Amino acid sequence: MSYTSTSHYKSVLITGVSGFLGSHLAESILVESSLGNIKEDYRVIGIDNFCTGLASNVTYLKQKFPKNFLFIEKDVIQPWDDVNSILTEAIKSEISHVFHFASPASPPHYQRLSLETLWVNTLGLSHALRFADDIGARVIFSSTSEVYGDPDVSPQPENYWGNVNSFGPRACYDEAKRFGEALIYSWNLRHQTKHGLVRIFNTYGPRMNPNDGRVIINFLVQALAGQDLTIYGDGRQTRSFCFVADLINGIKKYALTDITFPVNFGNDREFTVLELAEKVQAHFAKKQSQIVFLEKAKDDPAQRRPDLSLAKKLFPEWGPKVTLEEGLSKTAQWLQLNSR
């Protein structure tokens, strides 16, 4: 396979920049840019309304990159007239990529904000596409392994169509992302554009919202506080966990091509949730912490593991490098430093 590729970004716009992935993507691109002969202008424009993201992530980026990071507080579901008025034509002409990463992404958040989750992946995405087309930029949509639902195939390749409940508690997120993928496909077909999307599997690391309800952060927060580690179900459900730096490296490589089809990014090493809990208990928990089992959440997938064959064929130099043990340690250290 051969696809057109560029060697660098110009400037980028990231929606959802106060979120876990958005803030790491922004930092990675800014650090990369600072290694070269960077001009004193904006290299990353970030947009967010702090719906589920952390203001501390934006503060961190502003302090670390005061000359090269511009933040716009905005709900991207609403029309983007204000974005067009805030950004000068000179700044817009430098934007090569628009990363649409705005969306609630954990079950407690998207179930509480179900309509917003649907809208940001439909209306918000359509605004991003129009904006990008007007300035000649490429959109990268953050899709998800949730498009596979509760899969009956493992690992999940990109050509697996999924097993999704369209009328249940997870449907607002799963179906919103599936719609977003269909919108990218149809938009490219209609407008002869080259927008793309990445399917992101379970990712973890520093700067996760400690209250977002995802399993790794839940276990670490509970362990460090001396609380019991709570498993929903019997713990036999499997997950594959990718450290955030590995994921971001893959997304950046994808973005610099003209690929328009979905590609899985994650870590293909699989663990049961019970195995994960036992690792956290052994290395980070206080003596009194026990593993307890609660009722299984509705529509919780029994297994989730990416088939990375396509990603490794397209990007032979990419692959998950950080082990679960290393990643858990880095995440725990961050939690301890930021809980004081």
Q: Could you give the CA distance from residue 138 to residue 97 in angstroms, rounded to a whole number?
A: 5
173, 185, 204, 232: the catalytic one is 173
Structure tokens given for 159: 């050509």
End-to-end CA distance of the chain: 50
Strands (E) located in the chain: 11-15, 44-48, 69-73, 95-100, 138-144, 196-200, 203-204, 229-232, 238-240, 242-243, 263-265, 270-272, 291-294
**Residue 293, SS3 per DSSP:** strand
Give 36-67 as a DSSP string: S---SS-SEEEEE--SSS-HHHHHHHHHH-TT
- The residues, any chain, with a CB within 8 Å of residue 235's CB and separated by 6 or more, are 272, 273, 274, 277, 291, 293
Query: Which DSSP helix (H) or strand (E) runs through 245?
Result: helix 244-255
CA 58 to mean position of chain CA atoms: 16
**Sheet (strand 263-265) strand order:** 69-73, 44-48, 11-15, 95-100, 138-144, 196-200, 263-265
Give start and end residues of each alpha helix (H) in 19-170.
20-34, 55-64, 81-86, 89-93, 107-112, 114-120, 123-135
| 173: annotated active-site residue | yes
Burial state string for 257-295 with b = 16 or more CB within 10 A and e = fewer than 16: bebbebbbbbbbebbbbbebbbebbeebbeeebebeeee
Q: Could you give the CA distance from residue 62 to residue 20 in angstroms, rounded to a whole number?
A: 16
Q: Could you give the CA distance from residue 274 to residue 336 in angstroms, rounded to a whole number?
A: 23
Please list the active-site residues: 173
